[in-house]
């Protein structure tokens, strides 16, 4: 399938999801379309504060059309509606918080899974990883996170023991 066909499939499914969510939640929000990106392991993303565009990984979509229609597109649209609900209630609970989980479950009838387990071979670019430790475990972080820690732009803490992460080694 070419990009035009995939875009039509994604647009149609997104509009269906919007219609279901608008009807069940009694909320109207604009849909600003689909955009594709490449060279990443993410299946998709949205940036609700900026616009209501659903960004999809073209390479993964080509290899997993049914999964994207069934899971990824509703997952991203659930973020847009959860954000709209949270703004109305003046609540900030995080990207995969209670409201998003409720939209996934109650509106789309899907398990609110945060990550996919699709094969990203040949789709995602190879990235360096770095090993860090805290008081209770090892952590693997991306180059971006590693650079933020090293430049002291950010500090990262373990969610489990709340101690700061300490650099251990590069991973190959």
Q: Which of 76, 93, 111, 153 is catalytic?
A: 76
120: left (phi over 0), alpha (psi -120 to 50) or beta: alpha
First-to-last C-alpha distance (Å) of the chain = 35
Query: Distance of alpha carbon 75 from its chain centroid, rounded?
Result: 8
Closest CA to 48 of 89, 99, 84, 4: 84
Other C-beta atoms closer than 10 Å to the C-beta of 9 total 17
* Residue listed under structure tokens 């997104």: 14
Annotated active-site residue 76? The verdict is: yes
Q: Supply the residues annotated as catalytic.
A: 76
């Amino acid at each position: 399938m070419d990009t035009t066909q995939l875009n039509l499939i994604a647009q149609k499914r997104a509009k269906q999801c919007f219609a279901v969510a608008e009807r069940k939640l009694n909320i109207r929000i604009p849909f600003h379309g689909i955009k594709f990106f490449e060279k990443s392991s993410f299946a998709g993303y949205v940036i609700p504060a900026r616009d209501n565009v659903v960004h999809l990984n073209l390479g993964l979509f080509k290899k997993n059309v049914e999964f994207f229609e069934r899971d990824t597109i509703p997952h991203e649209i659930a973020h847009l509606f959860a954000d709209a609900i949270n703004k109305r209630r003046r609540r900030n609970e995080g990207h995969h918080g209670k409201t998003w989980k409720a939209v996934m479950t109650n509106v789309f009838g899907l398990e609110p899974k945060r990550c996919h387990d699709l094969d990203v071979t040949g789709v995602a670019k190879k990235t360096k990883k770095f090993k860090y430790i805290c008081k209770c475990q090892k952590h693997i972080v991306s180059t971006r996170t590693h650079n933020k820690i090293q430049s002291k732009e950010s500090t990262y803490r373990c969610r489990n023991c709340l101690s700061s992460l300490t650099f251990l080694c590069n991973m190959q």
